[in-house]
Structure 1
Protein backbone atom coordinates (compact mmCIF):
# COMPACT_ATOMS: atom_id res chain seq x y z
CA UNK A 1 0.00 0.00 0.00
CA UNK A 2 1.08 3.55 -0.67
CA UNK A 3 -0.79 6.83 -0.20
CA UNK A 4 -0.52 10.61 -0.15
CA UNK A 5 -2.61 13.45 1.24
CA UNK A 6 -3.91 16.33 -0.83
CA UNK A 7 -6.65 18.90 -0.93
CA UNK A 8 -9.74 19.43 -3.04
CA UNK A 9 -9.14 21.76 -5.98
CA UNK A 10 -11.60 22.80 -8.65
CA UNK A 11 -14.93 21.04 -9.02
CA UNK A 12 -16.51 20.57 -12.45
CA UNK A 13 -20.07 19.68 -13.36
CA UNK A 14 -20.35 18.26 -16.89
CA UNK A 15 -23.41 17.16 -18.88
CA UNK A 16 -23.31 14.74 -21.81
CA UNK A 17 -26.33 14.55 -24.11
CA UNK A 18 -27.93 11.82 -26.24
CA UNK A 19 -25.39 10.23 -28.59
CA UNK A 20 -22.34 12.03 -27.16
CA UNK A 21 -19.14 9.99 -26.98
CA UNK A 22 -18.78 10.01 -23.21
CA UNK A 23 -15.14 8.93 -22.78
CA UNK A 24 -13.88 11.13 -25.64
CA UNK A 25 -15.80 14.11 -24.24
CA UNK A 26 -14.50 13.49 -20.73
CA UNK A 27 -10.94 13.35 -22.05
CA UNK A 28 -11.55 16.62 -23.92
CA UNK A 29 -12.57 18.35 -20.66
CA UNK A 30 -9.58 16.82 -18.82
CA UNK A 31 -7.13 18.10 -21.45
CA UNK A 32 -8.77 21.52 -21.86
CA UNK A 33 -8.81 22.15 -18.10
CA UNK A 34 -5.47 20.36 -17.47
CA UNK A 35 -6.97 18.15 -14.75
CA UNK A 36 -3.93 16.14 -13.62
CA UNK A 37 -5.34 14.26 -10.60
CA UNK A 38 -9.04 13.79 -9.84
CA UNK A 39 -11.92 11.57 -8.80
CA UNK A 40 -15.23 11.69 -10.61
CA UNK A 41 -18.76 10.35 -10.34
CA UNK A 42 -21.19 9.68 -13.17
CA UNK A 43 -24.96 9.16 -13.19
CA UNK A 44 -27.34 8.81 -16.12
CA UNK A 45 -27.47 6.50 -19.12
CA UNK A 46 -25.19 4.82 -21.62
CA UNK A 47 -26.55 3.59 -24.94
CA UNK A 48 -23.47 1.53 -25.81
CA UNK A 49 -20.00 0.68 -24.53
CA UNK A 50 -17.28 -1.96 -24.49
CA UNK A 51 -16.50 -2.97 -20.91
CA UNK A 52 -14.31 -5.40 -18.99
CA UNK A 53 -16.24 -7.60 -16.56
CA UNK A 54 -13.17 -9.01 -14.82
CA UNK A 55 -10.20 -11.26 -15.48
CA UNK A 56 -10.60 -14.66 -17.10
CA UNK A 57 -8.48 -16.08 -14.24
CA UNK A 58 -7.13 -14.31 -11.13
CA UNK A 59 -3.50 -14.09 -12.36
CA UNK A 60 -1.05 -11.33 -13.23
CA UNK A 61 -1.09 -10.08 -15.82
CA UNK A 62 -4.84 -10.66 -16.19
CA UNK A 63 -6.58 -11.63 -19.40
CA UNK A 64 -9.60 -9.29 -19.55
CA UNK A 65 -13.10 -10.57 -20.28
CA UNK A 66 -14.74 -8.11 -22.69
CA UNK A 67 -18.44 -7.49 -23.15
CA UNK A 68 -20.23 -5.00 -25.38
CA UNK A 69 -23.76 -3.69 -25.15
CA UNK A 70 -25.86 -1.54 -27.44
CA UNK A 71 -29.10 -1.05 -25.54
CA UNK A 72 -29.86 1.68 -23.03
CA UNK A 73 -28.43 1.05 -19.54
CA UNK A 74 -28.90 3.10 -16.41
CA UNK A 75 -25.41 4.08 -15.25
CA UNK A 76 -23.92 4.84 -11.85
CA UNK A 77 -20.15 4.90 -11.53
CA UNK A 78 -17.03 6.30 -9.95
CA UNK A 79 -13.56 6.74 -11.35
CA UNK A 80 -10.21 8.44 -11.21
CA UNK A 81 -8.05 10.50 -13.55
CA UNK A 82 -4.24 10.43 -13.55
CA UNK A 83 -1.82 10.87 -16.45
CA UNK A 84 0.59 8.27 -17.80
CA UNK A 85 4.31 8.43 -18.63
CA UNK A 86 3.48 9.68 -22.15
CA UNK A 87 1.57 12.64 -20.70
CA UNK A 88 -1.84 11.23 -21.68
CA UNK A 89 -4.78 11.16 -19.27
CA UNK A 90 -5.81 7.71 -18.06
CA UNK A 91 -9.46 7.40 -17.08
CA UNK A 92 -10.34 4.50 -14.77
CA UNK A 93 -14.11 4.08 -14.42
CA UNK A 94 -16.06 1.29 -12.76
CA UNK A 95 -19.84 1.40 -13.10
CA UNK A 96 -23.04 -0.46 -12.47
CA UNK A 97 -24.98 -0.63 -15.73
CA UNK A 98 -28.63 -1.64 -15.39
CA UNK A 99 -31.12 -2.82 -18.03
CA UNK A 100 -34.62 -4.06 -17.12
CA UNK A 101 -33.50 -5.13 -13.65
CA UNK A 102 -30.35 -6.90 -14.88
CA UNK A 103 -27.17 -5.19 -13.67
CA UNK A 104 -23.74 -5.49 -15.23
CA UNK A 105 -20.85 -4.19 -13.13
CA UNK A 106 -17.75 -3.46 -15.17
CA UNK A 107 -14.74 -1.30 -16.02
CA UNK A 108 -15.93 1.03 -18.81
CA UNK A 109 -13.23 1.14 -21.49
CA UNK A 110 -14.32 2.29 -24.96
CA UNK A 111 -17.06 2.85 -27.50
CA UNK A 112 -19.25 4.88 -25.15
CA UNK A 113 -22.41 6.62 -26.38
CA UNK A 114 -24.69 8.52 -24.05
CA UNK A 115 -28.35 7.57 -23.68
CA UNK A 116 -30.45 10.69 -22.97
CA UNK A 117 -28.09 12.31 -20.44
CA UNK A 118 -25.02 11.63 -18.31
CA UNK A 119 -24.09 13.97 -15.48
CA UNK A 120 -20.52 13.98 -14.21
CA UNK A 121 -18.98 15.62 -11.16
CA UNK A 122 -15.17 15.91 -11.28
CA UNK A 123 -13.28 16.75 -8.08
CA UNK A 124 -9.70 17.82 -8.74
CA UNK A 125 -7.05 16.78 -6.21
CA UNK A 126 -4.24 19.25 -5.45
CA UNK A 127 -0.95 18.57 -3.69
CA UNK A 128 -0.45 14.97 -4.83
CA UNK A 129 2.34 14.02 -7.22
CA UNK A 130 0.88 10.96 -8.90
CA UNK A 131 0.67 9.36 -12.31
CA UNK A 132 -0.63 6.16 -13.85
CA UNK A 133 2.34 4.65 -15.76
CA UNK A 134 2.32 1.22 -17.40
CA UNK A 135 2.96 -1.53 -14.84
CA UNK A 136 4.40 -4.43 -16.87
CA UNK A 137 4.17 -7.02 -14.08
CA UNK A 138 0.43 -6.44 -13.80
CA UNK A 139 -0.31 -5.64 -17.43
CA UNK A 140 -2.11 -2.36 -16.65
CA UNK A 141 -1.55 1.31 -15.82
CA UNK A 142 -1.08 1.51 -12.04
CA UNK A 143 -1.48 4.54 -9.80
CA UNK A 144 2.02 5.56 -8.68
CA UNK A 145 3.06 8.29 -6.24
CA UNK A 146 6.27 10.31 -6.47
CA UNK A 147 7.83 12.82 -4.15
Structure 2
Protein backbone atom coordinates (compact mmCIF):
# COMPACT_ATOMS: atom_id res chain seq x y z
CA UNK A 1 0.00 0.00 0.00
CA UNK A 2 1.10 3.50 -0.76
CA UNK A 3 -0.70 6.84 -0.59
CA UNK A 4 -0.18 10.53 -1.19
CA UNK A 5 -2.04 13.69 -0.28
CA UNK A 6 -2.75 16.13 -3.11
CA UNK A 7 -4.70 19.19 -2.07
CA UNK A 8 -7.24 18.06 0.52
CA UNK A 9 -7.58 14.47 -0.80
CA UNK A 10 -5.62 11.27 -0.25
CA UNK A 11 -4.96 8.92 -3.16
CA UNK A 12 -4.37 5.36 -2.05
CA UNK A 13 -2.95 2.46 -4.06
CA UNK A 14 -3.51 -0.88 -2.42
CA UNK A 15 -1.63 -4.02 -3.36
CA UNK A 16 -2.13 -7.78 -3.30
CA UNK A 17 -3.61 -9.07 -0.02
CA UNK A 18 -4.31 -5.59 1.42
CA UNK A 19 -7.70 -5.36 3.12
CA UNK A 20 -9.39 -2.21 1.84
CA UNK A 21 -11.63 -1.12 4.72
CA UNK A 22 -9.13 -1.60 7.54
CA UNK A 23 -6.45 0.16 5.47
CA UNK A 24 -8.70 3.19 4.93
CA UNK A 25 -9.42 3.33 8.68
CA UNK A 26 -5.69 3.03 9.48
CA UNK A 27 -4.89 5.95 7.17
CA UNK A 28 -7.66 8.04 8.75
CA UNK A 29 -6.21 7.35 12.20
CA UNK A 30 -2.62 8.09 11.11
CA UNK A 31 -3.60 11.32 9.30
CA UNK A 32 -6.12 12.42 11.98
CA UNK A 33 -9.02 12.35 9.50
CA UNK A 34 -12.18 12.38 11.66
CA UNK A 35 -14.75 12.13 8.87
CA UNK A 36 -14.47 11.54 5.13
CA UNK A 37 -16.01 10.01 2.05
CA UNK A 38 -14.23 7.64 -0.31
CA UNK A 39 -14.63 5.89 -3.65
CA UNK A 40 -12.60 3.47 -5.69
CA UNK A 41 -12.12 0.68 -8.21
CA UNK A 42 -9.84 -2.34 -8.46
CA UNK A 43 -9.27 -6.05 -8.78
CA UNK A 44 -10.12 -8.09 -5.71
CA UNK A 45 -10.14 -11.72 -4.65
CA UNK A 46 -12.43 -11.89 -1.63
CA UNK A 47 -15.33 -9.89 -0.23
CA UNK A 48 -17.75 -10.27 2.66
CA UNK A 49 -21.07 -8.67 1.75
CA UNK A 50 -23.74 -7.97 4.36
CA UNK A 51 -27.44 -7.30 3.93
CA UNK A 52 -29.47 -5.85 6.82
CA UNK A 53 -32.70 -7.77 7.50
CA UNK A 54 -35.11 -5.38 9.29
CA UNK A 55 -37.42 -8.15 10.50
CA UNK A 56 -34.63 -9.81 12.49
CA UNK A 57 -32.56 -6.70 13.20
CA UNK A 58 -29.45 -8.49 11.99
CA UNK A 59 -27.13 -8.74 9.02
CA UNK A 60 -26.89 -11.75 6.72
CA UNK A 61 -23.40 -12.28 5.36
CA UNK A 62 -22.29 -13.72 2.02
CA UNK A 63 -18.70 -14.33 0.97
CA UNK A 64 -17.65 -14.16 -2.67
CA UNK A 65 -14.22 -15.01 -3.99
CA UNK A 66 -12.32 -15.40 -7.23
CA UNK A 67 -11.46 -12.72 -9.79
CA UNK A 68 -13.71 -9.88 -8.62
CA UNK A 69 -13.72 -6.62 -10.57
CA UNK A 70 -14.46 -3.89 -8.04
CA UNK A 71 -16.55 -1.69 -10.31
CA UNK A 72 -17.76 0.68 -7.60
CA UNK A 73 -16.70 1.34 -4.02
CA UNK A 74 -18.43 4.09 -2.05
CA UNK A 75 -18.36 4.83 1.63
CA UNK A 76 -17.73 7.15 4.50
CA UNK A 77 -15.81 7.34 7.73
CA UNK A 78 -17.27 9.06 10.79
CA UNK A 79 -16.17 9.57 14.38
CA UNK A 80 -18.04 7.73 17.10
CA UNK A 81 -17.83 7.47 20.85
CA UNK A 82 -14.30 7.58 22.30
CA UNK A 83 -13.06 9.11 19.01
CA UNK A 84 -13.21 5.73 17.24
CA UNK A 85 -13.61 5.87 13.45
CA UNK A 86 -16.36 3.78 11.88
CA UNK A 87 -17.02 3.02 8.23
CA UNK A 88 -20.18 2.62 6.17
CA UNK A 89 -19.15 1.01 2.90
CA UNK A 90 -21.02 -0.30 -0.13
CA UNK A 91 -19.49 -1.95 -3.19
CA UNK A 92 -20.42 -3.66 -6.45
CA UNK A 93 -18.39 -6.44 -8.07
CA UNK A 94 -18.56 -8.12 -11.46
CA UNK A 95 -17.27 -11.66 -11.91
CA UNK A 96 -17.62 -14.65 -14.19
CA UNK A 97 -19.48 -17.83 -13.31
CA UNK A 98 -18.66 -20.17 -16.19
CA UNK A 99 -19.66 -18.21 -19.28
CA UNK A 100 -22.04 -15.90 -17.42
CA UNK A 101 -21.09 -12.42 -16.27
CA UNK A 102 -22.53 -11.79 -12.78
CA UNK A 103 -22.81 -8.98 -10.26
CA UNK A 104 -22.81 -8.91 -6.46
CA UNK A 105 -23.25 -5.83 -4.31
CA UNK A 106 -24.16 -4.61 -0.87
CA UNK A 107 -22.88 -3.39 2.48
CA UNK A 108 -19.26 -4.43 2.90
CA UNK A 109 -17.64 -6.04 5.91
CA UNK A 110 -14.27 -6.68 4.25
CA UNK A 111 -12.60 -6.67 0.80
CA UNK A 112 -9.22 -8.23 -0.01
CA UNK A 113 -7.20 -6.99 -3.00
CA UNK A 114 -6.06 -9.42 -5.71
CA UNK A 115 -3.78 -7.14 -7.74
CA UNK A 116 -4.63 -3.49 -7.02
CA UNK A 117 -7.25 -1.06 -5.75
CA UNK A 118 -7.24 2.69 -6.32
CA UNK A 119 -9.07 4.72 -3.70
CA UNK A 120 -9.73 8.45 -3.35
CA UNK A 121 -10.27 9.51 0.29
CA UNK A 122 -11.91 12.93 0.67
CA UNK A 123 -11.77 14.36 4.23
CA UNK A 124 -14.65 16.55 5.38
CA UNK A 125 -13.43 20.13 5.72
CA UNK A 126 -14.83 22.75 8.08
CA UNK A 127 -16.29 20.29 10.60
CA UNK A 128 -16.65 16.69 11.71
CA UNK A 129 -19.48 14.25 11.13
CA UNK A 130 -20.05 12.09 14.18
CA UNK A 131 -21.78 8.75 14.61
CA UNK A 132 -24.99 8.41 16.60
CA UNK A 133 -26.02 4.93 17.73
CA UNK A 134 -29.52 3.82 16.69
CA UNK A 135 -30.90 1.16 19.06
CA UNK A 136 -33.63 0.11 16.61
CA UNK A 137 -31.16 -1.10 13.98
CA UNK A 138 -28.11 -1.63 16.17
CA UNK A 139 -26.07 0.54 13.82
CA UNK A 140 -24.91 4.15 13.71
CA UNK A 141 -26.03 7.08 11.60
CA UNK A 142 -24.61 10.51 10.83
CA UNK A 143 -24.88 13.04 13.65
CA UNK A 144 -24.13 16.69 12.92
CA UNK A 145 -24.12 17.86 16.58
> Scaled by the length of structure 2, what TM-score is found?
0.84
The answer for the alignment partner of 1:77 in structure 2 is: 73
Secondary structure (helix, strand or coil) at the match of 1:24 reads: helix
| Aligned twin of 2:52 | 55
- Structure 1 runs not aligned, ≥5 long: 1-8
Moved over 3 A (4+): none
Relative to its length, the structure with more strand (as a share) is 2
Counterpart CA distance in 2 for 1:124 and 1:141 is 19
**Root-mean-square deviation (Å):** 1.7
Deviation at 1:70, TM superposition (A): 2.2
Structure 2, unaligned runs of 5 or more? 1-6
Structure 1 residues 26 and 129, CA, compared in 2 at 3 Å: closer, same or farther? closer
Deviation string for 1:58-82 (max 9, x for gaps)? 44x7321210122121111111111
Inter-partner Cα distance in structure 1 for 2:106 and 2:143:
23
Give, in whole Å, the separation in 1 of the partners of 2:11 and 2:90: 19
Aligned residues: 134
The TM-score with structure 1 as length reference comes to 0.83
Deviates more, 1:36-45 or 1:125-134: 125-134
